[in-house]
């Protein structure tokens, strides 16, 4: 099989139609250049050039082979460039896990910013709860996750990308919907749509701690895993709920969101996590964008 060096020599001679000029273009002397052409013709078993002491011209086979030789050289150069860009983190793909709630605000901003800064890297998006993301990261099914902070910090590296307050979600005809802010004591004995202790463990534990610290006992009427489903039940009048501030972007008609009174420990976090042993160089590029987008309450 011929080599790329054979093709480069042939293209140079075919374009210059002069061995001396082609040799100078390739920083070679004429004897090794002639040898490369001979090897290529031997490999193809066809004469590509007619040459005399005064002239060089392409044979019919050489004319047909020239565009193919150029195309092969372009493909080889493109493959080499793609390999270098992938190694430097400029091209490639990242499998990104995310929770549904992160898709209300942070994820759209991340995608828009990352596509502008790294157009050569594809984001493969996979919605899943935090616990499934931990397992997928360990198994290598995703490269980066957007999760709630209930993970083994020794196994993963992480960056807190969002800190935001909880807001009270109430039906628009509920008395608390008219309050400028809500005290935790206002929720005592109130019907509450709570988070699932399995699929939404972070929120479940956070609210349990929050209510215990305020010495109040809400009346749980449903346990749901996704914020948008919780808001639907609030709209139906089943109960109140505490949701992250990003839920404002859902624009649920018939649901009013009110802040909690100052002093309530009601901040929720979203973390980006990845395996420190990952060999995907594109993760460094994504981490740079994540640091730029990090926001606080």
The average confidence (pLDDT) of the chain is: 88
Task: End-to-end CA distance of the chain: give it in Å, rounded.
Answer: 63
* Predicted local confidence at residue 234, as pLDDT: 96
State the Cα–Cα distance between residues 117 and 127, nearest whole angstrom: 23
* Predicted local confidence at residue 4, as pLDDT: 86
Q: What is the CATH code for 90-297?
A: 3.40.190.290
Q: Give the residue from 12, 72, 74, 1 showing the smallest Cα distance to 48.
A: 12
* Predicted local confidence at residue 7, as pLDDT: 86
State the Cα–Cα distance between residues 127 and 113, nearest whole angstrom: 19
pLDDT greater than 70 at residue 222: yes
pLDDT digits (tens, 9 = 90+) for 96-147: 999 999 999 999 999 999 999 988 888 999 999 888 899 999 888 999 999 9
pLDDT greater than 90 at residue 236: yes
> 102 phi and psi, to 5 degrees?
-70, -20
Could you please report the per-residue DSSP string of 213-282?
Answer: HTT---EEEEEES-HHHHHHHHHTTS-BEEEEGGGGGG--TTEEEEEBPTT---EEEEEEEE-TT---TH
* Predicted local confidence at residue 297, as pLDDT: 43
* Predicted local confidence at residue 72, as pLDDT: 87
Residue 262 pLDDT level (bands cut at 50, 70, 90): low
Domain chopping of the chain, boundaries: 4-87, 90-297
Q: Are 25 and 18 in contact, with CB atoms under 8 Å apart? A: no
Element (H or E) spanning 159, and its range?
strand 157-171
* Predicted local confidence at residue 243, as pLDDT: 96
* Predicted local confidence at residue 204, as pLDDT: 92
257 beta partners: 169
Q: Are 270 and 162 in contact, with CB atoms under 8 Å apart? A: yes
Q: Give the residue from 90, 97, 146 showing the smallest Cα distance to 122.
A: 90
Element (H or E) spanning 44, and its range?
helix 30-44
- The rounded Cα 287 to chain-centroid distance in angstroms is 10
State the Cα–Cα distance between residues 129 and 217, nearest whole angstrom: 27
The CATH architecture one would assign to domain 4-87 is Orthogonal Bundle (1.10)
* Predicted local confidence at residue 170, as pLDDT: 97
pLDDT digits (tens, 9 = 90+) for 44-86: 899 999 888 778 889 998 888 998 988 888 887 777 766 666 6
- The rounded Cα 258 to chain-centroid distance in angstroms is 33
* Percent of the chain at pLDDT exceeding 70: 93
Stretch 30-36: mean pLDDT: 88
pLDDT greater than 60 at residue 296: no
pLDDT digits (tens, 9 = 90+) for 75-98: 877 777 666 666 666 668 899 999
Residue 224 pLDDT level (bands cut at 50, 70, 90): very high
pLDDT greater than 50 at residue 198: yes
Residue at token pair 């910013």: 113
Q: Are 66 and 11 in contact, with CB atoms under 8 Å apart? A: yes
DSSP code, position 147: E
Which 3 state secondary structure label does DSSP give 169?
A: strand
- What angle, 0 to 180 degrees and rounded to 10, lies between the N-to-C axes of helices 4-16 and 30-44? 110
Look up the pTM and report it: 0.69
């Amino acid at each position: 099989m011929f080599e790329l060096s054979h093709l480069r020599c042939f293209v140079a001679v075919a374009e210059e139609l002069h061995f001396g000029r082609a040799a100078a273009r390739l920083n070679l002397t004429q004897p090794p250049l002639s040898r490369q052409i001979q090897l290529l013709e031997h490999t193809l078993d066809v004469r590509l050039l007619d040459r005399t002491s005064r002239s060089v011209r392409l044979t019919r086979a050489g004319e047909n082979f020239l565009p193919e030789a150029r195309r092969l050289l372009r493909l080889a150069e493109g493959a080499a460039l793609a390999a270098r860009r992938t190694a430097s983190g400029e091209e490639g793909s990242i499998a990104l896990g995310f929770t549904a709630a992160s898709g209300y605000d942070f994820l759209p901003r991340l995608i828009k910013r990352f596509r502008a800064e790294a157009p050569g890297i594809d984001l493969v998006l996979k919605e899943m709860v935090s616990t499934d993301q931990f397992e997928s990261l360990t198994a290598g099914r995703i490269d980066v996750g957007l999760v709630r902070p209930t993970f083994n910090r020794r196994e993963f590296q992480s960056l807190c990308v969002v800190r935001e307050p909880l807001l009270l979600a109430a039906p628009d005809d509920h008395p608390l919907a008219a309050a400028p802010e809500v005290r935790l004591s206002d929720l005592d004995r109130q019907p509450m749509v709570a988070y699932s202790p399995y699929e939404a463990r972070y929120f479940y534990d956070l609210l349990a701690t929050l209510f215990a610290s305020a010495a109040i006992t809400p009346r749980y009427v449903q346990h749901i895993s996704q914020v948008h489903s919780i808001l639907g039940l609030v709209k139906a009048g089943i109960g109140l709920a505490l949701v992250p501030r990003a839920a404002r972007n859902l624009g649920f008609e018939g649901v009013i969101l009110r802040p909690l009174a100052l002093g309530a420990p009601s901040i929720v976090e979203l973390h980006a996590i990845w395996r420190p042993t990952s060999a995907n160089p594109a993760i460094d590029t994504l981490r740079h964008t994540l640091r730029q987008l990090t926001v606080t309450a």
